[in-house]
Chains A and B, each alone.
Chain A
């Protein structure tokens, strides 16, 4: 053992982890401590491992991840704010053999795009929807999101989110899990190595589902936005665990095959 040199250990066959070939070399613009970078990386890894780079098209959002096409090396469509599920629907319906994924933040998916989100899932579009829930509008400077917690201070709730003024935090993922078109609905996080691995499994399952044509697969990632929250990354993880997880608990909300609809069919209307 004494003769074993460092160069002998650093060999391709001994490598346990590396950068995905589907990730570009461009340095990410995301803030230190932000969850976007990790989730972008996981998507790239899943696409590479499934060997579907030439069959995958992404829909990038309006928000901090607007330039995610700079990092994930697949074809992309840049959607208007909130419209990614509609864009993905139009693409997938006319290109049923492609893998299509959307990637949206809480404002995009659960405020301005609520209608498109609900109806895409309710139709059971065979797409992957990734939902980054960091309880704030990151890119526009930290305003209240539909998922902002009660009492949480943001640029537009400077005294904390108040129910009488702002209503309640929206558990949109729970609502979507009720829809028959949803095949797989899960809530994940990426704040520890174990959670990163679980989240990757969930994303992989979502991509695999979309080829099975059993309905929509929806992956929420409860995320941090230390810039928007104005606390450091470590404190952000702690705040998320203590404040967000009790309200947005992690785990699968739904994992099903296609719903048997025969029982719900009605008789034809007769005059």
Chain B
């Protein structure tokens, strides 16, 4: 039988706080991390249709331990490193006590080293001097730059992969970590979702795709409003989430605290459209059902859903439609919230931050508010969605993500019953 896999450490880098403590304090208080967009080096914020974002101001990676690596990698990898360091410390993992080849790294990244890529491309075109291109350009913009650096930082010689499935990358990184441990390929995996793509080009691209909110440029804190009637698109965010997954046996041997079990995972494609989900929500429902089956859990046992809910008109509606199909009468007693209401859509990091949020919710019994849920869209109106903090015991929870390219990923978490 496959071993039980548990989470023993968490790390978060987000627009409302670096570190799980800061993040959670502000999440519970319903504090929005969305502010007016800071201008780029050569491009004014005013030139963008969407001029708001969940940015991490004055991020200084050195403040979290100077390892000689952090300052040399792209911002997204820096976020990943800082989150992973926190998760490893939280889990009490001492890399030197582990067999290196039994420790793996799985990173979810939607766009990778965009900041570095854009800067170097712009500079090359401007100077027309190839010799001025930075030597770290290629090792930074390859999508696996973060997973490589993480292995280096922690001496992890086990399975090392980068999953890039746009907005669902973070969930799949954890899901692939689960699969690798279940298959006996590793005892411990550092699973990370990281993204720093609030860059001149990526932001412009999302604007042109008309996927971003543009109605609330003057009132940024009101812009990310999942399930609310006044929503008009998502808000870009940045950050990272990290989880330490290990076999239950390994965690018991180390005698450490456990957040919960990673009980099930499903990955599907709708084979439908480049960016929008199938409107009837059946594929989303199917993915949730597959994940629950994998966990051997019935829908009626689920207490909480950390929704994908990006604040786009179609996405939120379709997700609720899918949830109704899976949970039927249970839908009305589920706690549901949208972490993106607080920090915006952190793309490749979103699944990992959502999963970490799910485990903190399970531990604390507090469901953070979905901010700006003021005037519920009738299609998205459910008793368990609230703009206030809710309290309740959460034994079983799911975390959803749905990415561009019709990509769906769902994880199921379960409280571990002590024996």
Are chains A and B native binding partners rather than an unrelated pairing?
A: no
B positions within 8 Å CB-CB of A: none
Q: Which residues of A contact B (CB under 8 A)?
A: none
